[in-house]
Structure 1
Amino acid sequence: MLRPQVDADGAPFWAYAARGELRVQACADCGEPRFPPRPCCPHCHSFAHEWRPTDGRGRVWSYVVAHPPLLPDYAAHAPYNVILVELSDAPRVRLVGNLVTGPGAPLGSFPRERLDRLRIGARVQAVFDGSGLPRWVLERP
């Protein structure tokens, strides 16, 4: 399975996620949340930042269902979904992940016959699987 390439700016995001917390970087001066993490605020150009907890809720902003041919590490999981989630309490922040059936469920666990429930605007909640990768479940399965 592919792992994220962690840099100094994003390392806190992954450290919090490994503990089961979804946090986003925010400017300590103007308060704007930002993702991906970076040293300078794109709004006020401040270098001051903090990591704010989120409630982990959002909505599906976009999605795709991947089918073969794929990277070899993912072929066995196909077809699987990839979703782009807009966070409810930080609407300028969008995170990529997968819709799964529950905490700890593997990639591809969301059944193909239920893909009709995967739609733009569907409400989702972040869950963690112990690997530090945030995944998502439907709020109303």
Structure 2
Amino acid sequence: MATALPSEQVRITTDPTTEPFWQAAKERRLVAPRCGACGHFRLPPTPYCPECQSAEVDWVELAGRAVVYSFAVVHGFPGLPDVTLVPAVVDLPDAPGARLVSNIVGVDPEAVEIGMELTVDFHPIADGWLLPVFRPAADE
């Protein structure tokens, strides 16, 4: 079964550009930055829009749906030989053009496929933060 890394193994660092993403995750909300000038979504968060270079940003709350764009299956992790991870790049339908790198959890790795529909979940990590991870959608 695919899982996330143990909580104490994952630490994050925030800055003014990424802080809104992590604060929303702490509240179990998935958000994405959208340019306030041209409307382009961008993940990971960046200080300037890659399309128009504006610094204006609106943080949009997403429904938490995603679709597998790409993935790998990792058997074992340094110091954790029995862990199976499924790191993935997911498309976010509510944020056209934005993709997020995350993990798929709670699934047999053999069942994961490109195009699979997912829903967000939140995994506790170090220092009280929550990490967005994804599970197969209920109708899968």
TM range, smaller chain: 0.7 to 0.9
- Give the Å deviation of 1:77: 4.9
- Give the Å deviation of 1:93: 1.1
The CA distance in 1 between the partners of 2:104 and 2:82, in whole Å, is 13
The one-letter amino acid paired with 1:78 is V
Calculate percent identity across the aligned residue pairs: 31
1:136 aligns with 2:130: no
Tell me the SS of whatever aligns to 2:73: strand
Alignment of 1:1-141 (within 5 A): 1-68=9-76, 70-72=77-79, 75-101=80-106, 110=107, 114-130=108-124, 131-139=129-137, 140-141=139-140
The one-letter amino acid paired with 1:135 is V
* 1:44–1:3 Cα change, 3 Å: same
The one-letter amino acid paired with 1:26 is R
**Per-residue CA shift, 1:48-70, capped at 9, x if unaligned?**
111011111110011111123x3
The one-letter amino acid paired with 1:94 is R
**Per-residue CA shift, 1:15-73, capped at 9, x if unaligned?**
000000000111111111111111111111111111011111110011111123x333x
TM-score by length of 1: 0.82
TM-score by length of 2: 0.82
The one-letter amino acid paired with 2:113 is R
The CA distance in 2 between the partners of 1:77 and 1:99, in whole Å, is 17
State the structure with bigger RCO (CA 8 A, min sep 6), 1 or 2.
2
Structure with bigger strand share is 2
Tell me the SS of whatever aligns to 2:72: strand
| Runs of at least 5 residues in structure 1 that lack an aligned partner in the other structure | 102-109
Figure out how many residues of one structure are paired with residues of the other and give that number.
Answer: 127
